[in-house]
Structure 1
């Protein structure tokens, strides 16, 4: 699903349920200006921010984003579908499956050189392990420079953002408790 479709669906749903930009921004932890830009297809949005917006709008994430399913407990290099949110240059690989009661969600992220995310906060924990490149995380005003082999674990309720501060693509594995996938499988 491209960025224009995501922005249009967000705006349509927000108006349908009669919520203001301010209300959705407040409930999703984003600024009004940023959310307005997303609705007008002027900027991309991260997966975690999109989860927060979907929650505010009372809709499943799959209504805004086509994600690959992961029905088996194992996944293999070269066989996972790489996807992005809209036309974003940031790419995701789903690493984890879902099942009733599962709490962890794992993704492999590819951050192009120069990438900078919006500031977000959300439920749960977040754990980052850098595979390659240089990433700078800011968590509640504290800055962490992470290189290949470095990790960071933090309370995701705290405002945080990420930037690729290197000159090449960076990759990281992120594991968190935020429900990134809403395709719960039967036992």
Structure 2
């Protein structure tokens, strides 16, 4: 998928429209949502206007503040089901834009389950690029996170810890602490990431 097709695919998700609709339905101003999420009004406005593709940590904050599951932003729920299957061709890859802003998390991710809104876990396929230490962006969100490295060498960092993870290694951690990842090779490290966040 080329960059233009990717942009169209992401816009087709209407993530920004869904954020705005939820915000207005709950009678929140941008300032209210900013206070609930810790995100700036300017960033929220850019998200609502589909100018910014939010990374997972940002979407998790929005989902929690708006009391929906993360999958709400990707697809309409199939109601009445107890088993949900996501085929390979149904996965939507969310890539970064060509011109990103300083301080944005730099990775590619795919939501592996997009049909059930009220699930307790959010599984993703993530590609972490190689970065200089100075370019690593630390994020945090309430909950816990599990990472299984499929390919490459991945570095995990918090304020006081650095771990090197090889293919086949796993890490489970409290995601409320600031954390960051980078590939230690000249190609992206690939991983399955499962995020759990407490619902309101």
Measured against the shorter chain, the TM-score band is: 0.5 to 0.7
1:126 equivalent in alignment to 2:145 = yes
Matched residues, number: 175
Residue number among 123, 129, 133 corresponding to 1:106 in the alignment? 123
Residue 46 of structure 1 contacts residue 118 of structure 1 at CA under 8 Å; is this kept in 2? no
Residue 126 of structure 1 contacts residue 155 of structure 1 at CA under 8 Å; is this kept in 2? yes
Q: Which runs of 4+ in 1 moved over 6 A?
A: 67-70, 86-89, 95-98
- Equivalent in the alignment of 1:138: 157
Per residue, is there more helix in 1 or in 2?
Answer: 2
Aligned residue for 2:146, secondary structure, equals strand
Superposed counterparts of 1:38-117, under 5 Å: 38-66=47-75, 72=83, 79=88, 81-85=90-94, 90-92=108-110, 94=112, 103-111=120-128
Using CA pairs below 8 Å that are at least 6 residues apart, which structure has the higher relative contact order?
A: 1
Change over 3 Å in CA distance of 1:2–1:79 after alignment to 2:
closer
Q: TM-score, normalised by structure 2?
A: 0.60
State the Cα distance separating 1:140 from its structure 2 match.
4.3
Residue number among 17, 22, 30 corresponding to 1:20 in the alignment? 30
Instruction: List runs of 5+ in structure 2 lacking aligned partners.
Output: 1-8, 98-106
State the Cα distance separating 1:53 from its structure 2 match.
0.3
Q: TM-score, normalised by structure 1?
A: 0.63
